[in-house]
Amino acid sequence: MHGRNSPESQLLGYAGGRLDRVDHIRTNPALLAEAFASPLARRLMLEGLDPVVAHGHLVMEPLPADARADDFVLLGVDERERPIFAELLVEAADGFLASPRSRGAATEVPGHEAALYGAARSLLSWHARHRFCSVCGQRSAPAKAGWSRKCGACGAEHFPRVDPVVIMLAEHDGRVLLGRQHSWPEGRYSALAGFVEPGETLEEAVMREIREEAGVATHGVSYVMSQPWPFPSSLMIACIARADDDALKLDETEIEHAFWCDAAGVRAALAGEEGAPFVAPPPMAVAWHLLRHWVEGVGPDGQVADPDPSA
């Protein structure tokens, strides 16, 4: 078992994939047929969109003898030169949001396997939700080994969707702004987050979301890291912004409560200490890593070092 704060327990979920995505095979029918017929080929076993795990690893099996390449997507080729496939869903799954089993994969299997599962889940979910051409409304079909869909009626080609989401901390006078949604477990707080809108830069999205949800004006946005989030297919883009002041005016339809927390409180929450001012997100979430990144930059005087004094 991994300890709560061991390095193994603090891996970023669904990140760190090792597959070669072999675009040259995806786009070459002959090479794709060769990969599908390879005795090394494996299929990632799923139950709907949930992973199948045994002995701490994702279950992968040889392709069935009667399998058709058109019914599978090629996820890539692994370090053992095995082509890895996943079978398309015959019917749309009942739900595309995270289930306990799908979330559990982030901590139950090695990090690169969780990344493989996340990619497969996002891709299969996209196919299940986009069976018809958005241009003419006719049924489309998978193409390029499952990495696009092609409409036979109008010729339009559609590609897997990734939705960018900014997730951010606003900092002011050695403290960060944390909020909670109405549906979260008691005591849970995290960074604010929201989808990037058309025509925005990431910086503009960060400043807009903090202003809309908490009424706080910010500046000096800096990028920290990102995380693929396959529920159904987002890219979490973690940032830190500097707040002009600490007055809050919450959008209570989005945020149940928010408060400014100092570095000592953040450290206590990340360590899971009894009496911490909030319950931190789990270590598999980018918000946990964003909080750790911030608190590691706090000096002994409790102030955050400013990498750009002119910001």
> Whole-structure pTM over 0.75, yes or no?
yes
Residue pLDDT tens, the chain, 311 long: 333 343 444 689 999 999 999 999 999 999 999 999 999 999 999 999 999 999 999 999 999 999 999 999 999 999 999 999 999 998 766 667 788 999 999 999 999 999 999 999 999 999 999 999 999 999 999 999 999 999 999 999 999 999 999 999 999 999 999 999 999 999 999 999 999 999 999 999 999 999 999 999 999 999 999 999 999 999 999 999 999 999 999 999 999 999 999 999 999 999 999 999 999 999 999 999 999 999 999 866 666 665 443 44
**What DSSP string describes the chain?**
---TTSGGGGPPTT-----B--HHHHT-HHHHHHHHH-TT-EEE-EETTEE-EETTEE-EEEPPTT--GGGEEEEEE-TTS-EEEEEPPSS--S--S--HHHHHHHHHS-HHHHHHHHHHHHHHHHHHH--B-TTT--BEEEEGGGTEEEETTT--EE----EEEEEEEEEETTEEEEEE-TTSPTTB-B-EEEEPPTT--HHHHHHHHHHHHH---EEEEEEEEEEEETTTTEEEEEEEEEES-------TTT-SEEEEEEHHHHHHHHTT-TT-SSBPPPTTSHHHHHHHHHHHTB-TTSPBP-S-TT-
Pick the CATH number of 163-296 from 1.10.1740.10, 1.20.1250.20, 3.90.79.10, 3.40.30.10: 3.90.79.10
Domain boundaries, the chain: 7-123, 130-160, 163-296
